[in-house]
Amino acid sequence: MLLSDSIREECGIFAIHGSKNSDVAAQTYLALYALQHRGQESCGIAVNDDGVFGYHRDLGLVPDVFTRDILAGLGKGNMALGHVRYASEGRKSRSHAQPLVVRHIKGNMALAFNGCLTNADELREEVELSGAIFHSASDIEIISHVITRERLTARSIEEAVSAAMGKLKGAYSLVVMSPSKLIACRDANGFRPLCMGCKDDNIIFASETCALDSIGATLVREIEPGEIVVVDQNGVNSNRARCAGKGTLCVFEFVYFARPDSVISGVNVHEARQRAGEYLAMENPVEADVVIGVPDSGIPAALGYARESGIPYGIGFIKNRYIDRTFIQPTQLERELSVKIKLNAIDSTVRGKRVVLIDDSIVRGTTCGRIVRLLREAGAKEVHMRVSAPPFMHLCYFGTSIDSRENLIACKMSIPEIEKWIGVDSLGYLSVESVAKMAENAACGFCTGCFTGEYPAPVPKLKKKTRFDHKISERAGEEE
């Protein structure tokens, strides 16, 4: 999906524990490159050289932030954390970049996470009232304060992390680096993915297996929901005291977020997306001449739709990969121009034909309307849009940037109205029942709350925006 009209997920994480004086920064760089799709706002790497931490983080893409000189400056070490970030809310700021490195009375600590706390407001107020100072509006700072406070009385860093998990609510896949240990954990629902791999004597944690592949590592297993894994010089230890079941992964990892070559919960993402396309063809058949997908995330579902329906698959668009993603453009005019520069319809594929256009979702409806116009201008006789996810009807509280029903076209219009708005001859969505089946035999359940309004964990009554990102005139009734 292209986008000013797409949803975004918060970030991708990577961590590695190896032998002393290893080139862990370079391996982390390669892994972050593989995870770049999970976050294009900022990135960072922290290196642990026998208890001495060095780090660099900034706004921008991985190859732009980490020049050859900056990577060399990080030096070698025995551990490293890496992070790429999207902002689910709040302003674009260097202060939100991760990993976060803190220095407290018990030593250095670096943290990186993927997710969203549902009790962030309460936790922040609690630690602020005890005198804590924040430099950003990011949840990772809240997590660092909670862990640090627990560490003051805990016998070990892993004990402090476990105690903190008892206070953190919502979604989090988290990696923590102390002077001598590397820790990885997931919330009890397992909303966001996290896997463990190995390469020689290195133990690795990553949001997706594509990061393992990029450095020649082998997948060991998924980190279980609620599990804490500790790596030190003595080996790997697991604490499953907080595990409560197989979890409820965000289903959009399979629909859109994850890279197609990744394996999550034992299921190949590309194959799951093809399966979604097959279900979509069963539920929303149409007479047509060619099936095409919106690059890149709509293509696997288009292949599945074509295979099930018997309608030939065709390459309908050429994508220019040398410009930024469309949602990054600051004005609506620039976004519209970017769509035209980034995508071009192939006339010979669509001219005079009835076209089935497959995309993974419709959020606001603006970008898909422009894509449909490209097909019409290229001579498509009919355009039938099929979407490999159900309509977005509800907010997400667990790290996806669906924070207002006002921006969701399915909440404002009926299907016939959406058809007219985006200019298609027909529109069909995948059912909730089928989207939950697309990852057949996955070793997890799924959260489909953004489609159904039914969530596997408690959600806040009101999703607040940080007061620090609002002008004084917008903060009615607040005392200075």
Report the CATH number at residue 298: 3.40.50.2020
Q: Domain for residue 252, yes or no?
A: no
* Residue pair 149/159 in contact by the 8 Å Cβ criterion: no
Same domain (yes/no): 218, 69 = yes
- Enter the tokens of residue 14: 């990577």
Q: Work out the average pLDDT over 214-231.
A: 98
Same domain (yes/no): 272, 175 = no
Q: How confident is the model at residue 405 (pLDDT cuts 50, 70, 90)?
A: confident
DSSP code per residue over 173-208: EEEEE-SS-EEEEE-TT--S--EEEEETTEEEEESS
pLDDT at 329 over 60: no
pLDDT at 364 over 60: yes
Same domain (yes/no): 367, 314 = yes
The model's pTM: 0.91
- Separation CA 117–CA 99 (nearest Å): 17
Residue range(s) defining the domain that contains residue 178: 11-245
pLDDT of residue 4: 40
- Separation CA 302–CA 347 (nearest Å): 18
- Enter the tokens of residue 11: 């970030």
Nearest to 325 by CA among 361, 365, 296, 358: 296
Q: How confident is the model at residue 480 (pLDDT cuts 50, 70, 90)?
A: very low
Q: What is the CATH number of the domain that holds 64?
A: 3.60.20.10
pLDDT of residue 325: 47
Same domain (yes/no): 318, 363 = yes
* Residue pair 191/185 in contact by the 8 Å Cβ criterion: no
User: CB 200: neighbour CB atoms within 10 A?
Assistant: 9
pLDDT at 30 over 90: yes
Q: How confident is the model at residue 95 (pLDDT cuts 50, 70, 90)?
A: confident
Same domain (yes/no): 411, 345 = yes
pLDDT of residue 7: 55
Q: Domain for residue 473, yes or no?
A: no
User: Which ranges of 246-391 does DSSP label H, i.e. alpha helix?
Assistant: 252, 269-283, 299-309, 332-342, 347-350, 366-377
pLDDT of residue 474: 61
* Residue pair 7/60 in contact by the 8 Å Cβ criterion: no
Q: How confident is the model at residue 213 (pLDDT cuts 50, 70, 90)?
A: very high
Same domain (yes/no): 336, 434 = yes
In the set 11, 195, 368, 450, the catalytic residue is 11
Q: How confident is the model at residue 137 (pLDDT cuts 50, 70, 90)?
A: confident
Phi-psi region of 60 (alpha: psi -120 to 50; beta: other; left: phi over 0): left
User: CB 368: neighbour CB atoms within 10 A?
Assistant: 29
| 199 CB-side CA count, 13 A | 17
- Separation CA 210–CA 273 (nearest Å): 16
Q: Work out the average pLDDT over 410-414.
A: 94
Same domain (yes/no): 224, 133 = yes
Same domain (yes/no): 375, 230 = no
- Separation CA 477–CA 161 (nearest Å): 37
Does an H or E element contain 451, and which? helix 449-452
User: CB 25: neighbour CB atoms within 10 A?
Assistant: 26
Same domain (yes/no): 205, 279 = no
Q: How confident is the model at residue 326 (pLDDT cuts 50, 70, 90)?
A: very low
**Tens-digit pLDDT profile for residues 435-467:** 999 998 999 999 999 999 999 999 987 655 555
User: CB 426: neighbour CB atoms within 10 A?
Assistant: 16
pLDDT at 56 over 80: yes
Q: Is 315 exposed, middle or buried (0-12, 13-18, 19+ CB in 10 A)?
A: middle
Q: How confident is the model at residue 2 (pLDDT cuts 50, 70, 90)?
A: very low
Nearest to 40 by CA among 89, 1, 92: 92
pLDDT at 331 over 60: no
Lookup result for tokens 């595990």: 243
- Enter the tokens of residue 130: 């005890």
pLDDT of residue 94: 86
Same domain (yes/no): 158, 70 = yes
Q: Work out the average pLDDT over 382-387.
A: 98
Same domain (yes/no): 302, 370 = yes
Report the percent of the chain where pLDDT is more than 90: 78
Q: Domain for residue 469, yes or no?
A: no
- If you compute the radius of gyration of the chain from its CA atoms, what whole number of angstroms results? 23
Nearest to 139 by CA among 152, 151, 122: 122
Give the CA angle between residues 257, 260, 264 to the nearest 5°: 75
- Separation CA 94–CA 471 (nearest Å): 20
Candidate ranges 89-103, 119-133, 281-295; pick with highest mean pLDDT: 281-295
Same domain (yes/no): 116, 87 = yes
Q: Work out the average pLDDT over 401-405.
A: 74
pLDDT at 6 over 90: no
pLDDT of residue 343: 86
Q: How confident is the model at residue 38 (pLDDT cuts 50, 70, 90)?
A: very high
The reply to whether 447 belongs to the active site is: no
Q: How confident is the model at residue 314 (pLDDT cuts 50, 70, 90)?
A: very high
* Residue pair 319/274 in contact by the 8 Å Cβ criterion: no
Mean pLDDT is lowest, of 79-83, 164-168, 322-326, for 322-326
**Total structural domains within the chain:** 2
Nearest to 446 by CA among 430, 460, 433: 433
pLDDT of residue 88: 52
- Enter the tokens of residue 235: 């080996």
Q: Domain for residue 317, yes or no?
A: yes
Q: Domain for residue 472, yes or no?
A: no
Q: How confident is the model at residue 341 (pLDDT cuts 50, 70, 90)?
A: confident
Q: Domain for residue 26, yes or no?
A: yes
As a whole number of angstroms, the longest Cα–Cα distance in the chain is 72
Q: Domain for residue 329, yes or no?
A: yes
Give the CA angle between residues 64, 69, 72 to the nearest 5°: 115
Beta bridge partners of 387: 359, 429
**Tens-digit pLDDT profile for residues 159-184:** 999 999 999 999 999 999 999 999 99
Q: Domain for residue 4, yes or no?
A: no
Q: Which residues contact 314 (CB under 8 A, 6 or more apart)?
A: 290, 291, 292, 346, 349, 350
Q: Mean pLDDT of all residues in the chain?
A: 90
pLDDT of residue 330: 42
